[in-house]
Structures are given as structure tokens and as C-alpha cells.
Amino acid sequence: MPAELACFEERCRARFAITEVIYNCPKCGGLLEAVYGKPEQSTAELQTIWRNRRTSNAPLDQSGVWRYREFLPFLADYSRVVTLREGNTPLLNAPRAAQYGGLDRLVFKHQGFNPTGSFKDNGMTCGVAQALRLGMTRVACVSTGNTSASMAAYASAAGLQPIIFLPHGNISFGKLAQALEYGAHTLQVEANFDQILALVRRLAEELGIYLLNSVNPFRIEGQKTIMLEMMDQRDWRVPDWVVLPGGNLGNTSAFGKAFREMKELGLIGRLPRLAVIQAEGSAPFYNLMRARDQSRLNAIEHPQTLATAIKIGDPVSWPKARLEVSVSGGTVETVTEQEIADAKATIGRCGIGCEPASATTLAGIRKLTAAGTIAKDADVVAILTGNVLKDQDYTYQYHQGELKTLEGVPIAPNFGNPPVVVPYDLNRITDVLNGLPS
Ligand SMILES: *Cc1c(COP(=O)(O)O)cnc(C)c1O
Ligand SMILES: [Zn+2]
């Protein structure tokens, strides 16, 4: 069976050619996903091919996404694929974070090691490859965050024109700066996110611009490799839990699909449980999964959290995420702004560091072990989604004791580490150093 696009809705499941330029099912409006036949190679052959490619100097083999291309075979020709060597992110052991989270041991898979500093790169290399294959010359997204940074980098590297639409006056400067540096045309529109998205969908159709928003099914395919690479690194030992932040829920959808497909191919024997963590002020998926009626998600009109990467009130991929959390026997939890900030500082103290959205994982683990949902001796991998350098204001303000929630409530610097001002005086500095805790 060649690769196709399929409607995700159970009652529709309409199929479309992989080269159709559609973002939702034309029949029912449902989400789309890429579907394939089984690869020719056996499970053991695939595992050997993937492992051997780690010693190759070929760009595609060096990519932590395209190394696993048999697992996402939507392209007919790989000659125009552009890679910045995305993926290849480490599994980091973090004993101090484990202790804070109530676990015997904890491993982070750190997607902040990606070329533009977030997991968006895993998906974007695939979305841009599809744009090239469709003969597009311009790509666009509506985003103020890591998606913009990643799209700008990959589009420019591929010789495409990146266009970013932003709600005017709602800018995340660190991430926007990256997009500008990577050469994106950036348009600030005087409207909110949803209004702009509706407009951009029309523009895309009329002007032949390819949309690389979170709903793009090829980005989801690329993000599957985060779990494939993790399993390869673990010699295919399945963890008990995979813990990740939930925003638009693309990653939750991608991880669940990856594990189901790995199980179908016989690469693994069981599914790990997915634990999705949301910020308390921005938790529509948590509300859905705790509700009696899970047939529709109630959007939150004004989501509130300092973790901007997950400040999303109407997550597009919720139907996929609902299935993946249920099928895996997983759970959804929320954490407060204080819990996120303290967890982030704890991850920093491990010498690892991450952006605020990523720290929801450790904060969530602490709650889930306390509640007995995750056992103390469980084998847990938490996904750090973004780099510590992304939100420098947040980090600095926390350590200075100046961080406040969006409602103006002070966040206590429980693990604060502010700089100390000292006079230019050897004896005084000696006294200060002798007074430091050992
Ligand atoms: C995009 C993003 C998220 C949210 O991921 P979803 O797939 O939208 O749920 C979390 N953390 C970081 C750093 C991100 O960039
Ligand atoms: Zn449909």
C-alpha cells in the first residue's frame, strides 16, 4: 500500500492521495493522518539498519528523524530533503530531579538539544520536505513561539520563503528573534490567533502558500521519531511511563501513534502509559479527560500561564490525543505556576535546564507519585521539549524573586539563586566564599 492521507474520524476514515494539499478532511472536517503499508524489512532488519546508520556520514542517516525513514515513508524521493541534523537528542539521567519527583530514578529525553532548541524541528524537517515535494515556494504558520523559529530555519535552509503571522502585541521575544534571524517575513496582524488562522487558511488557498501549523499531518510523522529514537537508545526496552507537556497536543498524538505503530510492527511488545501535564490556567484537555462526556472539548477563551509554549485554550489535536491517552492507559494532570517554576529550577540544578513548559513534566511527576498513580520504582522518561535559553526573562526573574503570575501573584523563589553584589575587597570576598554552603 502506498502512503495515503486518512481521515482520523472513526465514522469517516476517507482516504486521499498523499500529495493532496489539504489540512482537514474535505468530507467531514476531521483531522488527517498519514497511513502506510508494512515495510519490506523484518523487525530485526530495521533495528540493524537504524543502528548502523549512526556511524554513517550521509546527511539523512545523521538526522535523528530521517535515519528512521522506513517508519515514516510518505516521500517517494529523498533527494531534496533538508536536514539540520535534528533529533539526536540525549537521554539524561537526573538523580536530583528523580528525588524531587518521588522516583528512584528519572531520565529526561531533552528535545532542547535540537538545532533551533525545541522538538518542533523533528516535525518541521518533514513538513518542509512535503512542501518541497508539492512544489511550493512559500510556507506559513500562525505562531509566536517555537513553531515560528523552527519553520523559519527549515524553510530558509530549503530555499523556501517563510511567512509568519502574529497577533499584534502578543510576542515572545526570544523566539521571535530567532525567526527574524532565520529570515522569516513576519506580519503582525491586529486580530486574535483564531481570526488570523481563519484568514491565513484563505490566503494559503488563494496564493498557494503551504501551511505548517500544528495540524499538518507530516509534522506529526516527524515527531514520531522522538519516541523511535528513544526506544533505539534504550535497546527497545519499553518504559512504564512517558511524561510530556500538553499544549496543542501534537506531541501527545505523535507519541501515541509511534508506539501503536511500533507495536503493530513487533518492535515492542506493549505500550508505555502517556502522562500529559498541563498548566492549571490552560488545561482544556485535562477538563475533557476528567469529564463524563468526552465527546467534545470546551475551549478556554483566555488561557493563563507563563509557560507560553502551552498557553493554548483550543488545542487542535485533541481528538487524536484523547485516543492515545485512553489506549495507553495514561493520565492527564495539571500543575500550578509555582510548581512549574520550582520544577524548572530543580531541572536546572541537575545541570540540565529547560524552558517553563518542559518543567511541567517534573512538577506533574511529583504530583502523580504523591497520588500513587506513578509508582516510586517505575521506569519513567520525561520529555524536556525546549531549551533553557528560550525564556531568559522568566529564569532571571525567578532567581531574583521577581517572577509573578499573569494575575500578578508573586512566585516564591524556593530554589532561587540570585547573584551577590560584593565590594572590590579580597577579605570581604573571602568572607563571602567561606560563608557559602558546602
Ligand atoms: C510546542 C511546545 C509544547 C507543546 O507541544 P504540543 O505538541 O503543542 O502539545 C511544549 N513545549 C515546548 C517547548 C513547545 O515548543
Ligand atoms: Zn472525514
CB distance 250 to ligand 1 below 6 Å: yes
Query: Does the pLDDT value for residue 1 go beyond 80?
Result: no
Query: Does the pLDDT value for residue 353 go beyond 70?
Result: yes
- The chain-wide mean pLDDT, for the chain, equals 96
Torsion of CA 260, 263, 264, 265, to 10 degrees: 130
pLDDT tens across 176-203, in order?
A: 899 999 999 999 898 887 788 889 989 9
Backbone angles phi, psi at 383, to 5 degrees: -100, 120
Percent of the chain predicted with pLDDT > 70 = 99
- Minimal CA–CA distance to 319: which of 343, 348, 284? 284
Q: At what angle do helices 356-370 and 337-349 cross, to 10 degrees?
A: 100
pLDDT tens across 84-122, in order?
A: 999 999 999 999 999 999 999 999 999 999 999 999 999
Q: What is the pLDDT of residue 95?
A: 98
Contacts of 123 (CB under 8 A, 6+ apart): 150, 216, 218, 219, 220, 221, 222, 223, 250, 254
CB distance 249 to ligand 1 below 6 Å: yes
Whether residue 18 contacts residue 36, with contact meaning beta carbons closer than 8 Å, is answered with: no
Q: What is the pLDDT of residue 143?
A: 85
Tell me how far apart the alpha carbons of residues 61 and 153 are, in angstroms, rounded to a whole number.
20
Whether residue 95 contacts residue 123, with contact meaning beta carbons closer than 8 Å, is answered with: no
Gap from CA of 312 to ligand 1 centroid (Å): 10
Rounded alpha-carbon distances, angstroms, from residue 298 to 188, 282, 284, 313, 376: 28, 12, 6, 9, 34
- Minimal CA–CA distance to 229: which of 48, 51, 39? 51
Q: What is the pLDDT of residue 2?
A: 87
Q: What is the pLDDT of residue 237?
A: 98
Rounded alpha-carbon distances, angstroms, from residue 166 to 176, 190, 262: 10, 9, 37
Gap from CA of 226 to ligand 1 centroid (Å): 13
Q: What is the pLDDT of residue 63?
A: 98
Gap from CA of 342 to ligand 2 centroid (Å): 43
- Minimal CA–CA distance to 222: which of 67, 54, 74, 65? 65
pLDDT tens across 122-166, in order?
A: 999 999 999 999 999 999 999 879 999 999 999 999 999 999 998
Q: What is the pLDDT of residue 17?
A: 98
Closest C-alpha to ligand 1, atom 4 = 247
Residue 311 grid cell:
498557553
pLDDT tens across 33-91, in order?
A: 999 999 999 999 999 999 999 999 999 999 999 999 999 999 999 999 999 999 999 99
385 CA: nearest ligand 1 atom: 13
Query: Does the pLDDT value for residue 401 go beyond 70?
Result: yes
Tell me how far apart the alpha carbons of residues 10 and 133 are, in angstroms, rounded to a whole number.
29
Gap from CA of 30 to ligand 2 centroid (Å): 5
Mean pLDDT of 345-368: 98
pTM: 0.97
Mean pLDDT of 336-348: 98
Rounded alpha-carbon distances, angstroms, from residue 188 to 92, 156, 193, 409: 39, 20, 11, 30
CB distance 251 to ligand 1 below 6 Å: yes
CB distance 313 to ligand 1 below 6 Å: no
Query: Does the pLDDT value for residue 252 go beyond 80?
Result: yes
Tell me how far apart the alpha carbons of residues 31 and 25 are, in angstroms, rounded to a whole number.
6
Tell me how far apart the alpha carbons of residues 245 and 254 are, in angstroms, rounded to a whole number.
13
Residue 312 grid cell:
493554548
Mean pLDDT of 297-314: 93
pLDDT band at 170 (very low <50, low <70, confident <90, very high): low
